[in-house]
């Protein structure tokens, strides 16, 4: 039985762990699931004021679908996609160690633990997207026809996050500093992605050195966020080249990470 | 064979520091940490037939729990191979994965899926679990409001009702109150009647003797003996008693150095007291029902006319058990001079398990003048032997009989 099959046979456990994580997250909070809607709204207000108005990013901003110029829409797209990635990683890196009590007692494919955190964040991301959909509809950006591509992009991002969460949480079993390193790592990574500035700025900064934008796009999160923006802000399908490359890279990376995880898995219960 | 283990060994990496950190790794120049390994199991082989109840005995730290964890796939053996047919589950993982914020109901389903059950199966046994746990009134309360007893009961109820093919128990039988324990024992007997395979780790050797068909005795990770439960447990007990004798010897020496009072005029002295088994060998740990000889050595510096030897046995908490002397016994000793000894022989030791203090005394004929009185100076222990009595501290060796004609 391959590891993937084994994971699949434990899908009910995965489902229950995701449910547990979501239930616990919102239990006994007054607004409950409303927070999933509130968070992006608060984010976009803060960033629009701080980055847009005070830093002046919104002046002469690129126009999106149908000539709509909205720095807030551009910002929200990037931030939500980024937060799905960042929250998943920060929350899953310590997950194996934190579930030591479970891991030391019962056998099940260990990758389920970081994956449950990622999927709980995926559900959250889904709720946040509802806010984004509403907002875009209100300001007149029409993207609904691109939804099949959106699903592909989410799949690519999820494969990438799953792979990283497996590797990071495994590394944290051996080096507990991984948790702190991840936080720093994420902070730096944020600025290498076109979230609060458009990709066009990178191109104009590079000038004649065309290798700079090429290297920039090799950063998987930069490319993934640009695909989201293409769909949500520009209302266009991402290029097939990007989708294809993303999908192949995502699957290869995920399977590779899983193979590494599997090879070290049997030590986890005695190391946590 | 539902379980087949061949030459399994398990080594653990011992951490010298609290945890590995990158800082340390950098300081070492990213070399692998110079960790020591610890061998928890060494070359253990065994097989379990369908329907067998297997007991695993051994001291703490002998590798019993590691072996169970290998059976449940939590650990992978470092060397050797193990094959297990069927679903293994049991009383090792009580309440594992319970989340304090979730209700009893939610936790039952979560725990079930951790143990590998589908929701459909859980729906079927849910009522049974709730009944077994006797927590129906609290089933929709978050488990963080449960008492620790309730928490364990719920975990137990799930574990025992998931109906595995191989049931594994790790000395948790002493969970909860008398009533709940009885229910658990019933459930184990029910598994036995259903011809399920059961593997038990426990220190309750007499329970194991009646419950198990076969047993393995582990010591420092090695399998010392495997086979019929009774034989293995006897062999284990014998070994424990040998060790225990040495330990008792050590305890006795400390005890005799520190405690007790001594007074007298010392014209004659008691030089030492020895405890002997029926075969004349010295020992300190007796089983009840065995012979015990207390040998009191003396040295009379001058001729003592008509001396009286006496002794007393106290339970370690001070209860006076007995105090015979030669005068009351009717043994008249004309005189003593120089060195010698006197024996007090018990053919069938009636004392039950416990530690006992021993006093020896040498008096004049009127029993008023002490030449040497050593009060609670000596020490011996009794372990349970053939006698199964457990109440009180002495067996009077009475017999029960019943008139079946009424």
Q: What is the pLDDT of residue B61?
A: 82
Q: Which of A154, A135, A153 is nearest to A237 (CA)?
A: A153
**Which residue in chain A has the smallest CA separation from B107?**
A20
The verdict on a CB contact (< 8 Å) between A176 and B74 is: no
Q: Is the distance from CB of B306 to CB of B365 less than 8 angstroms?
A: yes
* Closest chain A C-alpha to B197 CA, distance in angstroms: 19
Phi and psi dihedrals of B345, rounded to 5?
A: -110, 130
The residue among B12, B28, B96 with the most chain A CBs within 10 A of its CB, best to mutate, is: B96
Q: What is the pLDDT of residue B150?
A: 86
Residue B14 has pLDDT above 70, yes or no: yes
Q: What is the DSSP letter of A162?
A: H
Average pLDDT, chain B: 85
The verdict on a CB contact (< 8 Å) between A174 and B20 is: yes
Percent of chain A's residues with pLDDT above 70:
99
Q: What is the mean pLDDT of residues B220-232?
A: 90
Percent of chain B's residues with pLDDT above 70:
92
Contacts for A266 with CB less than 8 Å, ≥ 6 apart:
B75, B76
Residue A159 has pLDDT above 80, yes or no: yes
Residue-wise pLDDT for A175-224, tens only, equals 888 999 999 999 999 999 999 888 888 888 888 888 999 999 999 999 99
Q: Which of A33-47, A79-93, A245-259 has the lowest mean pLDDT?
A: A33-47
Contacts across the A-B interface (CB distance below 8 Å) = 70
Could you give the CA distance from residue A103 to residue A221 in angstroms, rounded to a whole number?
A: 31
Phi and psi dihedrals of A186, rounded to 5?
A: -65, -40
For B191-211, the DSSP string reads HHHTT-EEEEE-S-HHHHHHH
Residue B386 has pLDDT above 90, yes or no: no
* Closest chain B C-alpha to A35 CA, distance in angstroms: 19
Q: Which of B347, B268, B280, B263 is nearest to B309 (CA)?
A: B268
Sort out which chain B residues have CB atoms less than 8 A from A270's CB and list them: 12-13, 75
**Which residue in chain B has the smallest CA separation from A264?**
B76
The verdict on a CB contact (< 8 Å) between A106 and B93 is: yes
Could you give the CA distance from residue B346 to residue B287 in angstroms, rounded to a whole number?
A: 12
Rg (CA), chain A: 19
Q: What is the pLDDT of residue B64?
A: 87
Sort out which chain A residues have CB atoms less than 8 A from B143's CB and list them: none
Q: What is the pLDDT of residue B282?
A: 86
Residue indicated by tokens 């890279």 = A249
Residue A32 has pLDDT above 80, yes or no: no
Could you give the CA distance from residue B345 to residue B363 in angstroms, rounded to a whole number?
A: 20
pLDDT bucket at A81, cuts 50 / 70 / 90:
very high
The verdict on a CB contact (< 8 Å) between A270 and B12 is: yes
Sort out which chain B residues have CB atoms less than 8 A from A178's CB and list them: 22
Residue indicated by tokens 């729990």 = B65
Q: Are strands B320-322 and B3-14 parallel, antiparallel or unpaired?
A: unpaired
Q: What is the pLDDT of residue B23?
A: 63
Could you give the CA distance from residue A132 to residue A126 in angstroms, rounded to a whole number?
A: 10
Angle, vertex CA B82, rays to CA B78 and CA B84, nearest 5: 140
Residue-wise pLDDT for A6-15, tens only, equals 899 889 899 9
Q: What is the pLDDT of residue A80?
A: 93
The verdict on a CB contact (< 8 Å) between A108 and B25 is: no
Q: What is the mean pLDDT of residues A140-148?
A: 90
Q: What is the pLDDT of residue B148?
A: 81
The verdict on a CB contact (< 8 Å) between A176 and B21 is: yes
Q: What is the pLDDT of residue B101?
A: 84
Could you give the CA distance from residue A58 to residue B196 in angstroms, rounded to a whole number?
A: 72
Residue-wise pLDDT for B160-183, tens only, equals 888 888 888 886 545 556 777 777
Phi and psi dihedrals of B288, rounded to 5?
A: -70, 150
Nearest to B76 among A175, A178, A266 (CB): A266
Burial class (CB in 10 A: 0-12, 13-18, 19+), B89: buried
- Angle between helix B148-161 and B119-133 (nearest 10): 130
Q: Are strands B335-346 and B292-305 parallel, antiparallel or unpaired?
A: antiparallel
pLDDT bucket at A149, cuts 50 / 70 / 90:
very high
Nearest to A24 among B25, B74, B102 (CB): B102
Nearest to A106 among B19, B114, B118 (CB): B114
Q: Is the dihedral of CA A77, A83, A89, A91 positive or negative?
A: negative
The verdict on a CB contact (< 8 Å) between A23 and B101 is: yes
Count Cα atoms within 13 angstroms, Cβ side, for A106: 26
- Residue ranges of chain A whose CB lies within 8 Å of a chain B CB: 10, 12-13, 15-17, 20, 23-24, 27-28, 101-108, 174-178, 181, 266, 269-271
pLDDT bucket at A231, cuts 50 / 70 / 90:
very high
Residue-wise pLDDT for B355-382, tens only, equals 899 999 999 998 899 999 999 888 898 8
Q: Which of B203, B231, B239, B204 is nearest to B215 (CA)?
A: B231
Q: Which 56-95 residues of chain B touch chain A by CB within 8 A?
A: 69, 72-76, 92-93
Sort out which chain B residues have CB atoms less than 8 A from A271's CB and list them: 13
- Which one has a higher pLDDT value, B355 or B24? B355
Average pLDDT, chain A: 90
**Which residue in chain B has the smallest CA separation from A7?**
B116
Q: Are strands B166-170 and B197-201 parallel, antiparallel or unpaired?
A: parallel
Residue A234 has pLDDT above 70, yes or no: yes
The residue among A1, A11, A20 with the most chain B CBs within 10 A of its CB, best to mutate, is: A20
Q: Which of A103-107, B3-7, B75-79 has the lowest mean pLDDT?
A: A103-107
pLDDT bucket at B2, cuts 50 / 70 / 90:
confident
Q: What is the pLDDT of residue B13?
A: 79
* Closest chain B C-alpha to A268 CA, distance in angstroms: 9
* Closest chain B C-alpha to A13 CA, distance in angstroms: 5
Q: What is the pLDDT of residue B310?
A: 94
* Closest chain B C-alpha to A105 CA, distance in angstroms: 6
Sort out which chain B residues have CB atoms less than 8 A from A181's CB and list them: 22
Q: What is the pLDDT of residue A163?
A: 97
pLDDT bucket at A232, cuts 50 / 70 / 90:
very high
Sort out which chain A residues have CB atoms less than 8 A from B75's CB and list them: 266, 269-270
Could you give the CA distance from residue A147 to residue A129 in angstroms, rounded to a whole number?
A: 12
- Which one has a higher pLDDT value, B299 or A67? B299
Q: What is the pLDDT of residue A224?
A: 96
Nearest to A20 among B19, B74, B102 (CB): B102
Nearest to A175 among B20, B93, B102 (CB): B20
Q: What is the pLDDT of residue A272?
A: 78
Q: What is the mean pLDDT of residues B126-144?
A: 90
Q: Is the dihedral of CA A167, A169, A174, A179 positive or negative?
A: positive
Q: What is the pLDDT of residue A114?
A: 97
Q: Is the distance from CB of A188 to CB of A86 less than 8 angstroms?
A: no
Contacts for B129 with CB less than 8 Å, ≥ 6 apart:
B108, B157, B158, B161
Q: What is the pLDDT of residue A192?
A: 94
Q: What is the pLDDT of residue A259?
A: 95
Residue-wise pLDDT for B194-204, tens only, equals 888 999 888 87
List, in sequence order, every residue forming a beta bridge with B294; answer none if it has no partner: B275, B344
* Highest mean pLDDT of the ranges A19-33, A47-61, A242-256: A242-256
- CA B212 centroid distance within chain: 17
* Closest chain A C-alpha to B17 CA, distance in angstroms: 12
Asked whether the ipTM of the predicted complex exceeds the cut of 0.90, the reply is: no
Q: What is the pLDDT of residue B406?
A: 59
Nearest to B114 among A13, A28, A269 (CB): A13
- Which one has a higher pLDDT value, B151 or A253? A253
Two structure tokens written together for B37? 């390994």
Domains in chain B and their CATH numbers?
Answer: 3-238 (3.40.50.300), 260-383 (2.70.50.60)
Nearest to B74 among A20, A27, A105 (CB): A105
CB atoms within 10 A of CB B169: 24
Interface contact B106, partner A, CB < 8 A: yes
Q: What is the mean pLDDT of residues B297-309?
A: 93
pLDDT bucket at B27, cuts 50 / 70 / 90:
low
Interface contact B113, partner A, CB < 8 A: yes
**Which residue in chain B has the smallest CA separation from A21?**
B99
Residue-wise pLDDT for B97-130, tens only, equals 788 888 999 889 988 888 888 888 899 999 999 9
Q: What is the mean pLDDT of residues B67-72?
A: 88
Q: What is the pLDDT of residue A239?
A: 93
Residue B19 has pLDDT above 80, yes or no: no
Sort out which chain B residues have CB atoms less than 8 A from A105's CB and list them: 74, 92-93, 96
Sort out which chain A residues have CB atoms less than 8 A from B113's CB and list them: 12-13, 15-16
Q: Which of A183, A227, A226 is nearest to A201 (CA)?
A: A226
């Amino acid at each position: 039985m391959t590891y993937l099959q084994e994971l699949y046979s434990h899908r009910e456990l995965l489902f229950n762990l995701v449910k547990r994580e979501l239930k616990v997250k919102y239990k006994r909070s007054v607004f409950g699931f409303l927070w999933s809607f509130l968070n992006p709204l608060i984010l976009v207000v803060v960033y629009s004021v701080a980055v847009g108005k005070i830093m002046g990013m919104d002046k002469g901003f690129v126009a999106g679908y149908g000539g709509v110029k909205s720095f807030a829409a551009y910002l929200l797209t990037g931030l939500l996609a980024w937060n799905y990635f960042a929250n998943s990683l920060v929350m899953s890196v310590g997950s194996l160690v934190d579930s030591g009590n479970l891991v030391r007692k019962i056998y099940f494919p260990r990758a389920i633990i970081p994956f449950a955190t990622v999927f709980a964040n995926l559900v959250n991301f889904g709720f946040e997207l509802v806010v984004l959909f509403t907002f875009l509809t209100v300001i007149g950006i029409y993207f609904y026809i691109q939804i099949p591509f959106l699903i592909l992009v989410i799949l690519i991002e999820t494969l990438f996050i799953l792979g990283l969460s497996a590797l990071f949480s495994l590394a944290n079993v051996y080096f507990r500093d991984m948790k702190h390193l991840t936080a720093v790592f994420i902070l730096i990574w944020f600025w290498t992605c076109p979230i609060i500035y458009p990709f066009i700025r990178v191109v104009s900064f590079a000038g004649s050195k065309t290798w700079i934008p090429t290297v920039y796009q090799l950063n998987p999160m930069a490319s993934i966020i640009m695909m989201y923006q293409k769909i949500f802000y520009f209302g266009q399908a991402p290029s097939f080249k990007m989708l294809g490359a993303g999908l192949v890279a995502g699957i290869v990376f995920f399977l590779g990470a899983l193979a590494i995880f599997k090879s070290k898995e049997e030590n986890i219960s005695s190391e946590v | 064979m539902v379980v087949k283990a061949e030459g399994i060994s398990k080594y653990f990496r011992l951490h010298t520091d609290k945890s590995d950190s990158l800082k340390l790794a950098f300081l070492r120049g990213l070399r692998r940490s110079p960790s020591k390994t610890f061998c928890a199991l060494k070359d253990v082989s065994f097989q379990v037939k369908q329907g067998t109840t297997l007991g695993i005995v051994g001291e703490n730290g002998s590798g019993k729990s590691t072996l169970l964890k290998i059976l449940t796939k939590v650990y992978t053996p470092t060397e050797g191979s193990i094959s297990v047919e069927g679903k293994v589950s049991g009383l090792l993982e009580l309440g594992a994965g319970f989340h304090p914020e979730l209700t009893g109901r939610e936790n039952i389903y979560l725990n079930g899926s951790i143990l590998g059950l589908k929701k459909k199966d859980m729906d079927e046994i849910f009522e049974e679990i709730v009944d077994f746990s006797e927590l129906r009134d609290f089933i929709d309360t978050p488990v963080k409001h449960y008492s620790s007893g309730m928490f364990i009961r719920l975990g137990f109820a799930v574990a025992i009702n998931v109906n595995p093919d191989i049931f594994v128990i790790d000395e948790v039988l002493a969970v909860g109150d008398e009533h709940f324990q009885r229910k658990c024992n019933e459930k184990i007997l029910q598994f036995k009647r259903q011809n399920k395979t059961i593997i038990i780790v426990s220190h309750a050797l007499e329970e194991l003797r009646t419950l198990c068909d076969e047993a393995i005795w582990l010591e420092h990770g090695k399998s010392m003996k495997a086979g019929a439960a009774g034989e293995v447990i006897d062999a284990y007990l014998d070994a424990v008693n040998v060790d225990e004798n040495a330990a008792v010897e050590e305890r006795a020496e400390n005890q005799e150095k520190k405690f007790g009072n001594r007074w007298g005029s010392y014209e004659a002295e008691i030089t030492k007291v020895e405890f002997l088994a029926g075969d004349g060998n010295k020992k300190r740990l007796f089983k009840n029902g065995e012979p015990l000889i207390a040998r009191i050595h003396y040295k009379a510096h001058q001729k003592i006319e008509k001396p009286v030897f006496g002794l007393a046995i106290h339970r370690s908490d001070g209860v006076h058990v007995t105090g015979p002397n030669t005068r009351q016994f009717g043994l008249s000793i004309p005189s003593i001079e120089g060195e010698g000894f006197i024996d007090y022989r018990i053919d069938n030791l009636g004392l039950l398990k416990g530690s006992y203090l021993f006093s020896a005394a040498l008096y004049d004929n009127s029993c008023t003048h002490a030449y040497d009185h050593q009060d609670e100076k000596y020490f011996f222990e009794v372990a349970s032997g053939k006698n199964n009595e457990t109440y009180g501290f002495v067996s009077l060796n009475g017999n029960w009989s019943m008139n079946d004609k009424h």
